Amino acid sequence: MSSISFFWSKAFLTSRSMLWLLFLVNAAGTFYGYIWYGNQLQYTVDNHPLWQLVFVPDSPTASLFFTLSLLYLLFPRKGTPSKAFTAVRMGIEALAVVTSVKYGIWAVAMIVGGAMQGDTLEWQHYMLIASHLGMAFEALLYVRFMVFHRLAALLATMWLLLNDTIDYTYMVFPWLPSELEDDLLAIAVFTFGLSIASYLGTLTAWRAKDRIAR
């Protein structure tokens, strides 16, 4: 095995040191993400029904699902898992991949779109670009070690589409740069389309996993 291909191998990617590193990074990012959404969460509590609160913090919730998925790799179940355990795992893993791909790309697109229309980028924007691209990349990279199937991915995508519908019906989508506020219809169409694209990307990665050397 070449030195480069080793970094794509199952031995490296599922080593406990690598999994723990990813777990800590994603857990910290999830925590920071909910703090980042703090003002919008408070605004939602003050101005919207409480049931809409769950649809507000998109990226940190995606990161949370991926963080939980890493626990299944860190602490593999001994023996044959129950159907309930497997169903829960498949749901969490499917949500982890589909939502991480979608919101990882969406956040970068919004930052870049705002900058193209005059928004001034600060160091936090570049940090967010790097971290969100990392979300999408790691999700697709780890598909081959997950147990979910196409139905679970489809159900996860249905959740995304429900989230999109709530976001743009009740205006609880993530706050946008002011430069993009007059592009809301285009952003909504892009968001729905990206949910479908994330599903297709997840399926492509899932189908390719058996062709990738483990």
For residue 9, which phi and psi values (nearest 5 degrees)? -80, 160
Give residue 71's pLDDT: 97
Give residue 214's pLDDT: 47
Q: State the DSSP code for 69.
A: H
Helices (H), the chain: 3-6, 10-13, 16-36, 38-47, 58-74, 83-116, 123-141, 150-170, 184-208
* Chain segment 189-212, per-residue pLDDT in tens: 999 999 999 999 999 998 887 665
Helix (H, G, I), strand (E, B) or coil at 175: coil
State the DSSP string of 107-152. Answer: HHHHHHHHHHTTPPP-HHHHHHHHHHHHHHHHHHHTGGG----HHH
Claim: this prediction has a pTM higher than 0.85: yes
Within 10 angstroms of residue 188's Cβ, the number of other Cβ atoms is: 16
Q: Which residues of the chain have pLDDT under 70?
A: 1-4, 6-7, 210-214
Amino acid code (one letter) for 152: A
Give residue 30's pLDDT: 97
